[in-house]
Amino acid sequence: MEAAHYVIRLMEQDDIPQVAQIDREAFPGEWVFRSQSAYRRDLGNSSVRYVVACKRGAMAEYRTQKTEKVSWFKRLFTHERAANVREDIVGFSGFWMMMREAHIIAIGVRDRCRRLGIGEGLLIATVELAQMCNANVVTLEVRASNEIAQRLYKKYGFQVTGRRPKYYSSNGEDAIIMSTDSIASMPFQASFQELRDDHARRHPELQLLIS
């Protein structure tokens, strides 16, 4: 099977229908399901940031900065998508900026694209974007029963800081509140860099930015 290629980039208006579809698929019955008009409003809100993971077609051509010294995440802001190439959005993530706290709204991946490292890649991109927005900490809520997600977040330095009883309206399940230490600290950045490099080694088929 030919390896798929993906790029993670900032969300755009044309992505909204597919993102809303993933939202419904990944979070059935939860409050996180939002209308397309809500996503359009968010894209005009300077306090909200979204990124998407796109599956790239074989004919898609991207132009990036020539220098090899620029990080993959900084380079993704400079690429230009080829005209008339329809991208298949396979995942998304986003956060609200409140003071210097980046609160993750959701990380969602299409069912058919799970266990490919895309969700972890979106988490990496989200934390990096939070750093670029001068956030000091990153926070989120996760279902108490979602142990797989909790293990991933703990791996990236998130710690349990609280619990919201009956937070999820779909079934009354509790939410676990998790937060990082300062993402600007040297210990966090050193650990994060190591984890990001390890993710790239484990998922060479997932080219977050294809030059």
Q: How high is the mean pLDDT of the chain? A: 83
Active-site hit among 6, 39, 62, 153: 153
Q: Residue 117's pLDDT is what?
A: 92
Q: Residue 35's pLDDT is what?
A: 85
**Confidence class of residue 48 from pLDDT cuts 50, 70 and 90?**
very high
Q: Residue 68's pLDDT is what?
A: 40
Kindly report, residue by residue over 60-106, the tens digit of the pLDDT: 443 333 334 445 455 454 444 443 346 789 999 999 999 899 999 99
Q: Residue 171's pLDDT is what?
A: 84
Record the pTM.
0.83
- 207 or 123, higher pLDDT: 123
Q: Is 168 a catalytic residue?
A: no
Q: Is 101 a catalytic residue?
A: no
Q: Residue 27's pLDDT is what?
A: 85
What DSSP string describes 87-151? -EEEEEEEEEEETTEEEEEEEEE-GGGTTSSHHHHHHHHHHHHHHHTT-SEEEEEEETT-HHHHH
Active-site hit among 62, 141, 156, 167: 141
- 19 or 87, higher pLDDT: 19
Mean pLDDT value across residues 24-42: 82
Q: Is 167:174 a contact under the CB 8 Å cutoff?
A: yes
**Packed helices 186-202 and 118-132: angle between N→C axes, nearest 10 degrees:** 150
Mean pLDDT value across residues 114-130: 94
**Confidence class of residue 34 from pLDDT cuts 50, 70 and 90?**
confident
Kindly report, residue by residue over 168-191, the tens digit of the pLDDT: 887 889 999 999 999 999 999 999
What are the CA-CA distances from residue 83 to residues 12, 55, 61, 196 (Å)?
14, 16, 9, 31
**Confidence class of residue 31 from pLDDT cuts 50, 70 and 90?**
low
Q: Residue 78's pLDDT is what?
A: 44
Residue-range domains of the chain with CATH: 6-202 (3.40.630.30)
* Percentage of the chain modeled with pLDDT above 90: 62
**Confidence class of residue 113 from pLDDT cuts 50, 70 and 90?**
confident
Q: Is 102:54 a contact under the CB 8 Å cutoff?
A: no
Q: Residue 66's pLDDT is what?
A: 32
- 1 or 31, higher pLDDT: 31
